[in-house]
Structure 1
Protein backbone atom coordinates (compact mmCIF):
# COMPACT_ATOMS: atom_id res chain seq x y z
CA UNK A 1 0.00 0.00 0.00
CA UNK A 2 1.25 3.47 -0.84
CA UNK A 3 0.17 5.25 2.34
CA UNK A 4 1.02 8.50 4.06
CA UNK A 5 -0.40 9.19 7.51
CA UNK A 6 -0.32 11.47 10.49
CA UNK A 7 -1.42 10.65 14.01
CA UNK A 8 -1.95 12.71 17.11
CA UNK A 9 -3.14 12.22 20.67
CA UNK A 10 -5.99 14.60 21.51
CA UNK A 11 -6.76 15.27 25.17
CA UNK A 12 -10.52 15.04 24.75
CA UNK A 13 -13.09 12.25 24.75
CA UNK A 14 -13.74 10.30 21.55
CA UNK A 15 -17.29 11.70 21.55
CA UNK A 16 -16.01 15.27 21.61
CA UNK A 17 -13.37 14.61 18.94
CA UNK A 18 -15.89 12.89 16.69
CA UNK A 19 -18.37 15.73 17.06
CA UNK A 20 -15.79 18.32 16.03
CA UNK A 21 -14.31 16.07 13.35
CA UNK A 22 -17.65 15.36 11.70
CA UNK A 23 -19.64 18.53 12.32
CA UNK A 24 -17.11 21.37 12.32
CA UNK A 25 -14.93 20.46 9.34
CA UNK A 26 -14.84 24.01 8.01
CA UNK A 27 -12.92 24.98 11.17
CA UNK A 28 -10.08 22.45 10.91
CA UNK A 29 -10.07 20.64 7.54
CA UNK A 30 -7.30 22.61 5.82
CA UNK A 31 -4.27 24.47 7.17
CA UNK A 32 -4.69 28.16 7.87
CA UNK A 33 -4.70 30.60 6.13
CA UNK A 34 -6.57 28.33 3.70
CA UNK A 35 -10.27 27.76 4.31
CA UNK A 36 -12.84 25.26 3.19
CA UNK A 37 -16.45 25.52 2.13
CA UNK A 38 -18.37 22.29 2.43
CA UNK A 39 -20.72 21.88 -0.51
CA UNK A 40 -22.12 18.42 0.25
CA UNK A 41 -21.46 15.77 2.88
CA UNK A 42 -23.83 12.83 2.29
CA UNK A 43 -22.65 10.70 5.20
CA UNK A 44 -23.10 7.20 3.82
CA UNK A 45 -21.21 4.85 1.51
CA UNK A 46 -21.63 6.19 -2.02
CA UNK A 47 -22.72 9.62 -0.75
CA UNK A 48 -21.30 12.79 -2.25
CA UNK A 49 -18.34 14.51 -0.60
CA UNK A 50 -17.76 17.93 -2.17
CA UNK A 51 -15.92 21.02 -1.00
CA UNK A 52 -13.95 24.01 -2.20
CA UNK A 53 -10.56 24.83 -0.68
CA UNK A 54 -9.77 28.54 -0.81
CA UNK A 55 -6.34 30.08 -0.50
CA UNK A 56 -5.27 33.46 0.83
CA UNK A 57 -4.56 34.74 -2.70
CA UNK A 58 -8.03 33.83 -3.99
CA UNK A 59 -7.06 30.33 -5.14
CA UNK A 60 -9.93 27.85 -5.43
CA UNK A 61 -9.46 24.09 -5.47
CA UNK A 62 -12.74 22.18 -5.85
CA UNK A 63 -12.70 18.68 -4.37
CA UNK A 64 -15.32 16.17 -5.57
CA UNK A 65 -15.67 12.54 -4.57
CA UNK A 66 -17.68 10.04 -2.59
CA UNK A 67 -17.73 8.45 0.82
CA UNK A 68 -16.63 4.83 0.80
CA UNK A 69 -17.48 4.41 4.49
CA UNK A 70 -19.11 6.36 7.29
CA UNK A 71 -18.85 4.63 10.66
CA UNK A 72 -20.44 7.00 13.14
CA UNK A 73 -18.16 7.79 16.05
CA UNK A 74 -15.18 5.94 14.54
CA UNK A 75 -14.13 6.81 11.00
CA UNK A 76 -15.00 8.06 7.57
CA UNK A 77 -13.37 7.22 4.26
CA UNK A 78 -13.53 9.18 1.00
CA UNK A 79 -12.07 8.93 -2.47
CA UNK A 80 -11.75 11.28 -5.41
CA UNK A 81 -11.57 8.31 -7.81
CA UNK A 82 -15.25 8.68 -8.70
CA UNK A 83 -17.85 11.42 -8.43
CA UNK A 84 -21.26 11.09 -6.78
CA UNK A 85 -22.78 10.04 -10.11
CA UNK A 86 -20.10 7.31 -10.32
CA UNK A 87 -18.04 8.87 -13.08
CA UNK A 88 -14.33 8.02 -12.99
CA UNK A 89 -12.34 11.08 -11.90
CA UNK A 90 -8.65 11.23 -11.32
CA UNK A 91 -7.96 9.25 -9.05
CA UNK A 92 -5.54 10.68 -6.52
CA UNK A 93 -6.19 8.95 -3.21
CA UNK A 94 -8.41 7.26 -0.67
CA UNK A 95 -8.54 9.37 2.52
CA UNK A 96 -9.21 7.79 5.90
CA UNK A 97 -9.92 9.81 9.06
CA UNK A 98 -10.35 7.75 12.20
CA UNK A 99 -10.33 7.94 15.96
CA UNK A 100 -10.04 5.48 18.81
CA UNK A 101 -10.01 5.82 22.58
CA UNK A 102 -6.55 6.05 24.13
CA UNK A 103 -6.14 6.42 27.86
CA UNK A 104 -8.08 9.51 28.93
CA UNK A 105 -8.19 10.92 25.40
CA UNK A 106 -8.38 10.00 21.75
CA UNK A 107 -5.95 8.85 19.08
CA UNK A 108 -6.64 10.62 15.77
CA UNK A 109 -5.16 9.19 12.59
CA UNK A 110 -5.53 10.53 9.05
CA UNK A 111 -4.20 8.52 6.13
CA UNK A 112 -3.96 8.94 2.39
CA UNK A 113 -3.66 5.78 0.29
CA UNK A 114 -2.49 6.17 -3.28
CA UNK A 115 -2.73 3.99 -6.38
CA UNK A 116 0.97 4.32 -7.17
CA UNK A 117 4.22 4.99 -5.37
CA UNK A 118 4.73 7.95 -7.70
CA UNK A 119 1.47 9.62 -6.65
CA UNK A 120 2.28 8.96 -3.00
CA UNK A 121 5.64 10.75 -3.36
CA UNK A 122 3.96 13.54 -5.30
CA UNK A 123 1.56 14.03 -2.37
CA UNK A 124 4.47 13.97 0.08
CA UNK A 125 6.29 16.63 -1.95
CA UNK A 126 3.13 18.76 -2.02
CA UNK A 127 3.48 19.06 1.76
CA UNK A 128 1.34 16.18 3.02
CA UNK A 129 3.02 15.91 6.41
CA UNK A 130 3.04 19.65 7.17
CA UNK A 131 -0.49 20.19 5.88
CA UNK A 132 -2.19 17.21 7.44
CA UNK A 133 -0.28 17.73 10.72
CA UNK A 134 -1.49 21.35 10.78
CA UNK A 135 -5.06 20.11 10.33
CA UNK A 136 -4.59 17.62 13.18
CA UNK A 137 -3.30 20.45 15.38
CA UNK A 138 -6.30 22.62 14.48
CA UNK A 139 -8.65 19.73 15.31
CA UNK A 140 -6.91 19.18 18.64
CA UNK A 141 -7.09 22.89 19.45
CA UNK A 142 -10.87 22.89 18.90
CA UNK A 143 -11.39 19.69 20.91
CA UNK A 144 -9.12 20.57 23.81
CA UNK A 145 -10.20 24.19 24.03
CA UNK A 146 -13.66 23.46 25.33
Structure 2
Protein backbone atom coordinates (compact mmCIF):
# COMPACT_ATOMS: atom_id res chain seq x y z
CA UNK A 1 0.00 0.00 0.00
CA UNK A 2 1.34 3.41 -0.87
CA UNK A 3 1.32 6.28 1.62
CA UNK A 4 -1.95 8.14 1.25
CA UNK A 5 -3.90 5.23 -0.21
CA UNK A 6 -6.30 5.09 2.74
CA UNK A 7 -5.98 8.66 4.03
CA UNK A 8 -8.48 11.41 4.72
CA UNK A 9 -7.04 14.83 5.45
CA UNK A 10 -7.92 18.45 6.19
CA UNK A 11 -5.55 21.41 6.11
CA UNK A 12 -5.66 25.16 6.55
CA UNK A 13 -3.47 28.22 6.90
CA UNK A 14 -3.76 29.85 10.31
CA UNK A 15 -2.81 33.50 10.86
CA UNK A 16 -0.85 32.66 14.00
CA UNK A 17 2.70 31.48 14.75
CA UNK A 18 3.40 27.77 15.16
CA UNK A 19 4.09 28.21 18.90
CA UNK A 20 0.57 29.59 19.40
CA UNK A 21 -0.99 26.76 17.36
CA UNK A 22 1.00 24.20 19.33
CA UNK A 23 -0.17 25.70 22.64
CA UNK A 24 -3.82 25.60 21.49
CA UNK A 25 -3.39 21.99 20.30
CA UNK A 26 -1.85 20.85 23.59
CA UNK A 27 -3.65 23.01 26.15
CA UNK A 28 -7.13 23.72 24.72
CA UNK A 29 -8.16 20.46 23.04
CA UNK A 30 -11.54 20.38 24.81
CA UNK A 31 -12.46 23.62 23.00
CA UNK A 32 -11.85 22.43 19.41
CA UNK A 33 -11.48 18.66 19.19
CA UNK A 34 -15.05 17.81 18.20
CA UNK A 35 -17.72 19.69 16.24
CA UNK A 36 -19.99 21.86 18.37
CA UNK A 37 -22.55 21.38 19.86
CA UNK A 38 -20.66 18.24 20.90
CA UNK A 39 -17.95 18.71 23.51
CA UNK A 40 -14.74 16.87 24.26
CA UNK A 41 -13.23 15.97 27.62
CA UNK A 42 -9.55 15.13 27.74
CA UNK A 43 -9.07 12.18 30.08
CA UNK A 44 -5.31 12.00 29.57
CA UNK A 45 -2.74 13.33 27.11
CA UNK A 46 0.70 11.98 27.99
CA UNK A 47 2.62 13.70 25.17
CA UNK A 48 5.47 11.24 24.66
CA UNK A 49 5.92 8.13 22.53
CA UNK A 50 3.97 5.35 24.23
CA UNK A 51 2.00 7.85 26.32
CA UNK A 52 -1.75 7.51 26.68
CA UNK A 53 -4.17 9.57 24.61
CA UNK A 54 -7.76 9.36 25.82
CA UNK A 55 -10.63 11.71 24.93
CA UNK A 56 -14.36 11.29 25.41
CA UNK A 57 -17.00 13.20 23.47
CA UNK A 58 -20.47 14.16 24.67
CA UNK A 59 -23.42 15.15 22.50
CA UNK A 60 -26.02 17.82 23.20
CA UNK A 61 -28.71 15.19 23.91
CA UNK A 62 -26.64 13.09 26.33
CA UNK A 63 -24.86 10.98 23.69
CA UNK A 64 -21.38 9.69 24.58
CA UNK A 65 -18.50 8.22 22.63
CA UNK A 66 -15.67 6.06 23.77
CA UNK A 67 -13.51 7.11 25.35
CA UNK A 68 -11.32 7.24 22.27
CA UNK A 69 -8.28 5.45 23.60
CA UNK A 70 -4.83 5.22 22.02
CA UNK A 71 -1.16 6.01 22.34
CA UNK A 72 1.24 8.58 21.01
CA UNK A 73 3.73 7.16 18.52
CA UNK A 74 5.69 10.35 17.81
CA UNK A 75 5.77 13.78 19.42
CA UNK A 76 7.94 16.55 17.96
CA UNK A 77 6.89 19.68 19.86
CA UNK A 78 5.64 22.43 17.59
CA UNK A 79 5.94 20.23 14.48
CA UNK A 80 4.24 16.86 14.50
CA UNK A 81 2.16 14.47 16.60
CA UNK A 82 1.24 10.92 15.61
CA UNK A 83 -1.30 8.85 17.55
CA UNK A 84 -2.93 5.49 16.95
CA UNK A 85 -5.87 3.61 18.40
CA UNK A 86 -4.23 0.28 17.54
CA UNK A 87 -2.96 0.17 21.14
CA UNK A 88 -4.18 1.26 24.53
CA UNK A 89 -1.65 2.50 27.09
CA UNK A 90 1.01 -0.07 27.94
CA UNK A 91 1.03 -1.31 24.32
CA UNK A 92 -2.15 -3.34 24.84
CA UNK A 93 -3.46 -4.27 21.37
CA UNK A 94 -7.01 -3.24 20.50
CA UNK A 95 -9.04 -3.22 17.29
CA UNK A 96 -7.44 -0.49 15.16
CA UNK A 97 -9.35 2.13 13.20
CA UNK A 98 -6.77 4.77 12.30
CA UNK A 99 -3.52 6.55 12.92
CA UNK A 100 -3.84 10.34 13.24
CA UNK A 101 -1.05 12.63 12.06
CA UNK A 102 -1.10 16.29 13.07
CA UNK A 103 1.49 18.60 11.47
CA UNK A 104 2.41 22.24 12.00
CA UNK A 105 4.59 24.04 9.42
CA UNK A 106 5.65 27.63 8.92
CA UNK A 107 3.93 29.34 6.02
CA UNK A 108 5.36 32.85 5.99
CA UNK A 109 4.10 34.54 9.17
CA UNK A 110 1.32 31.95 9.40
CA UNK A 111 1.10 28.22 10.15
CA UNK A 112 0.00 25.41 7.84
CA UNK A 113 -1.91 22.94 10.01
CA UNK A 114 -2.80 19.52 8.62
CA UNK A 115 -4.77 16.73 10.28
CA UNK A 116 -4.64 13.33 8.59
CA UNK A 117 -6.48 10.12 9.39
CA UNK A 118 -4.60 7.13 7.96
CA UNK A 119 -6.71 3.96 7.90
CA UNK A 120 -5.66 0.32 7.73
CA UNK A 121 -7.79 -0.45 4.68
CA UNK A 122 -10.30 0.94 2.19
CA UNK A 123 -13.25 -0.31 4.24
CA UNK A 124 -12.16 1.63 7.35
CA UNK A 125 -11.59 4.75 5.25
CA UNK A 126 -15.06 4.41 3.67
CA UNK A 127 -16.60 3.87 7.12
CA UNK A 128 -14.92 7.06 8.39
CA UNK A 129 -16.19 9.00 5.36
CA UNK A 130 -19.72 7.68 5.98
CA UNK A 131 -19.46 8.70 9.66
CA UNK A 132 -19.06 12.28 8.43
CA UNK A 133 -15.29 12.74 8.34
CA UNK A 134 -15.37 15.91 6.24
CA UNK A 135 -18.21 17.79 7.91
CA UNK A 136 -16.80 16.85 11.33
CA UNK A 137 -13.10 17.36 10.73
CA UNK A 138 -13.75 20.49 8.63
CA UNK A 139 -15.65 22.01 11.57
CA UNK A 140 -12.96 20.86 14.00
CA UNK A 141 -10.36 22.57 11.79
CA UNK A 142 -12.40 25.81 11.67
CA UNK A 143 -12.77 25.78 15.48
CA UNK A 144 -9.03 25.19 15.91
CA UNK A 145 -8.15 27.98 13.45
CA UNK A 146 -10.46 30.46 15.24
CA UNK A 147 -8.95 29.65 18.66
CA UNK A 148 -5.38 29.98 17.34
CA UNK A 149 -6.07 33.27 15.58
CA UNK A 150 -7.89 34.61 18.65
CA UNK A 151 -4.96 33.62 20.88
CA UNK A 152 -2.51 35.31 18.49
CA UNK A 153 -4.59 38.48 18.15
> TM-score by structure 1 length?
0.97
> SS of the residue aligned with 2:93?
coil
1:55-109 CA-partner distances (Å, limit 9, x unpaired): 1111111111100111101111111111002221110000011110002201010
Structure 1 unaligned regions, length at least 5: none
Equivalent residue for 2:86?
A: 81
In structure 2, the partner of 1:18 is 22
Q: Which aligned pairs between 1:1-146 and structure 2 lie closer than 5 A?
A: 1-61=5-65, 62-145=67-150, 146=153
Q: Distance in 1 between matches of 2:56 and 2:68?
A: 6
Distance 2:73 2:19 in 1: 22
Instruction: For 1:90 and 1:8, locate their aligned partners in 2 and report how far apart those are by CA, in whole Å.
Output: 31
* Matched residue count: 146
Matches of 2:142 and 2:123 in 1, distance apart? 27
Distance in 1 (alpha carbons) for counterparts of 2:111 and 2:7: 22
Q: Which structure 2 segments of 5+ residues have no match? A: none
Runs of 4+ with deviation above 6 angstroms:
none
For residues 2 and 50 of structure 1, the distance between their equivalents in structure 2, rounded to whole angstroms, comes to 24
| Aligned CA-pair RMSD | 0.9
Q: State the distance in 2 between where 1:95 and 1:23 align.
A: 18
